[in-house]
Amino acid sequence: MSDPAAAAELELPHLAGLEVPVSPFLRRDAAAQDIPQRVLDSTMLVRPTRGVRSLRMPRTWAERARGVLPVLPPDAAFSHVTAAALLGLPLSYAMEEDGRLHVSSRLDTRRMRRPGVVAHRCLHPRSRDTAEGLPVVGLADTWMDLGELVGRGKPVGLDDLIVVGDAIATRLESVGPLREALMRRVRPRGKVTLLEALQEIRVGSASPRETLARLMLVRCGLPEPLLNHPVCDEAGNLLGYADLLWKEQRVAGEYQGEEFHAGEEERARDERRRLGFERRAGLQVEEIWKADMASRSEREACVLRFARALGISRSEVDVSRAEPRFFSTYAMDLAVQREMRRSARRSS
């Protein structure tokens, strides 16, 4: 049978009478559990990593991390993308697809060398937390560590850092911890991109798509909106929270994610909410759907629609800046300079 997990499921009855630990365990500890050698070497147990056995094939981030936990150094913690996933932070497709487990420990710790594990030895101490019962690097330091994965051919870009930064700042109710974490590091990798991302991180975003919608609009020259701000009627009754609110212009932007807003019941609720904002609070409500951010033409049309609602003329809006950004301004400037030098050499 090609799938060890499936084989284990079928052969588990043969483990009757054996007290096999539910959590992954070290092979060398099997004797203390009276687990026979034939069981350790068979397909009844899976091998998350060298020297570790488990009853189940690890599939989620937490299960995979638990499979490596028994062989980690005592001071080690899961970090980078792994910590972000365990802490419930939003991951881009590229970050999810990276799939490797990142582990950080002190600089004087012997480096781990295991398939599927990226071991980092850190000069600067990291704050520590616990997520899913596992040791992880803290929120702000995890954001800093993601800067090490920025660049061409790597999974993290500028907008990814802003999305994760928004989620952390909202959870901590301040951008301050991110700024302080950045200031504690001496010449960290990805510092230029981290600094640029920090300037665009805000407290209040409720989802990655809300962050990306805000970036798309503001980068084109529209004013900064309030995020998830309460909307009340004239009597002070709360009508809801606007995803994006331009209070002075009396305009609300609502991101309608298909996951939560595509069903009939959800659409009916959204319609009641919209009517409440419009009729009882005097707001003009503009919706943003996934399709509005799917292509250059759709993004530009969305930006211009919001500009009209906000009373901003077309000449004041730069729709060319509506594109998502992976590279920092500094990285793009360097690329332009390199191309200019190449062109000069070719023409000489």
Mean pLDDT of 75-97: 96
Tell me, what CATH number does 296's domain have? 3.40.960
- Classify 284 as helix, strand or coil: strand
Q: Are both 213 and 171 inside the same structural domain?
A: no
pLDDT at residue 31, as a whole number: 67
Mean pLDDT of 62-81: 93
Distance of CA 56 to the CA centre of its chain: 27
- Report whether 245 contacts 344 (CB < 8 A): no
pLDDT at residue 20, as a whole number: 63
Q: Are both 53 and 71 inside the same structural domain?
A: no
Domain of residue 223 covers: 208-322
Taking the C-alpha atoms of 185, 189, 193 and 199 in order, what is their torsion angle to the nearest 10 degrees? -10
State the pTM of this model.
Answer: 0.87
* Sign (positive or negative) of CA dihedral 304, 307, 308, 312: negative
CA distance readout (Å), 24 to 15, 46, 56, 81: 16, 9, 9, 22
Q: Report d(CA 321, CA 206) in Å as an integer.
A: 23
Lowest mean pLDDT among 44-53, 62-71, 293-302: 44-53
Task: Give the tens place of pLDDT for each residue, 194-213.
Answer: 999 999 999 999 999 999 99
Q: Are both 145 and 241 inside the same structural domain?
A: no
Q: Are both 90 and 154 inside the same structural domain?
A: yes
pLDDT at residue 1, as a whole number: 37
Q: Are both 314 and 216 inside the same structural domain?
A: yes
Instruction: Give the DSSP per-residue string, 127-167.
Output: -EEEETTEEEE-HHHHHHHHGGGBSTTSSB-HHHHHHHHHH
Is 297 a domain residue?
yes
Domain boundary among 14, 38, 57: 57
Q: Are both 214 and 173 inside the same structural domain?
A: no
Tally of domains within the chain: 3
Mean pLDDT of 310-325: 96
Q: Report d(CA 110, CA 122) in Å as an integer.
A: 12
Average pLDDT, the chain: 88
166 pLDDT exceeds 80?
A: yes
